[in-house]
Amino acid sequence: MGIYNRNDGTYIKELPTYIKAFPFIMRRRLDASIYFSQKIDLTNTIEFSEKNNIKIFHIFLAALTKIGFEKENMNRFVVGKRIYKRNEFKIAFVAKRKLDEESEELSLKVEFDKKDNIYDVEKKVKNKVNIVKKGDSFNADKSLDILIKLPKLITTFIFFIVRKIDELGFLTKKFIDDNPLFVSVFVTNVGSIGLDAPFHHMFEFGTTSIFASLGKIHKDYIIDENENIRIADVVNVNFTIDERIVDGIYMAKSLELFKKYMENPSLLE
């Protein structure tokens, strides 16, 4: 591994010229960030959730997983001005050991398979959350605790070296697996604490190309396909995406498909 292929991705040689040029024109994820907002009609979603005793958050993750495999170009990332196809589909999020302000926050990272349905997604997430509740954590969390206690100059130098190794593709699989910023999608469920969805910033460290925020459920106006107006339970989902991974039309079609799955979760069974 190294230079072209990595432990977490395969270098894509055949791409349109303009996409290959994106990493040179937009050198950082912050330069390439594009923002997309969706208002999801939860009429069918809440009914499905209550009938099957499954949380909206798990439906959200299952919909992301579905498009991750059906629209596989969304599962790409850019490192060292090269575009890679990710070898796995993983989602990361932050959880608290307890639901209070003082409780410690820990990162969770869950891998999903193409065959996973909504119930498989729910089971995998619950299993990972149970690990956190038992007191276990990512090695990345433990490593950061050590790094932050070092003198700033040393910590800065260590991160510089890690970034250079990452650019060359020589990071070990263990390092990547232990780090929550090396994922297909990083999600935040601020609706669980009564907030609406923000547009999350991108991280220059790691390989995450998509951040998705799930807001609080609230009442709002919906215009249906017959242009009738009604009031419904809705939730806002905001995406921040590295534009360099795909063209705009592909991205828009992928997010339309995500909305379809969120509004019709029976398709995820």
Looking up residue 236, the CATH number of its domain turns out to be: 3.30.559.10
Give every CB contact of residue 97 below 8 A, 6+ residues apart in sequence.
103, 104, 106, 132, 133, 135
Residue at 67 is within a domain: no
Contact yes or no for 94/106 (Cβ under 8 A): yes
The Cα 250–Cα 188 span in angstroms is 24
DSSP 30: H
State pLDDT tens for residues 158-183: 888 888 998 888 999 988 988 889 99
Residue at 25 is within a domain: yes
CA atoms within 13 A of residue 184's CA, in its CB half-sphere: 23
What mean pLDDT do residues 210-218 have? 96
Residue at 34 is within a domain: yes
Map tokens 């230079």 to a residue: 3
The Cα 117–Cα 111 span in angstroms is 13
Residue at 124 is within a domain: yes
Quote the pLDDT of residue 108: 86
Residue at 68 is within a domain: no
Q: What is the mean pLDDT of the chain?
A: 89
Give every CB contact of residue 59 below 8 A, 6+ residues apart in sequence.
45, 48, 49, 118, 262, 265, 268
Residue at 57 is within a domain: yes
Residue at 2 is within a domain: no
Total structural domains in the chain?
1
User: In b/e form, how buried is each residue of 149-158, taking b as 16+ CB within 10 angstroms?
Assistant: eeeeeeeeee
What mean pLDDT do residues 58-72 have? 97
Domain extent for 19: 9-61+76-247+256-268
pLDDT band at residue 203 under the 50/70/90 scheme: very high
State pLDDT tens for residues 227-269: 889 899 999 999 999 999 999 999 999 999 999 999 999 999 9
Quote the pLDDT of residue 158: 85
Map tokens 């065959």 to a residue: 115
Residue at 4 is within a domain: no
User: Rounded to two decimals, what is the model's pTM?
Assistant: 0.90
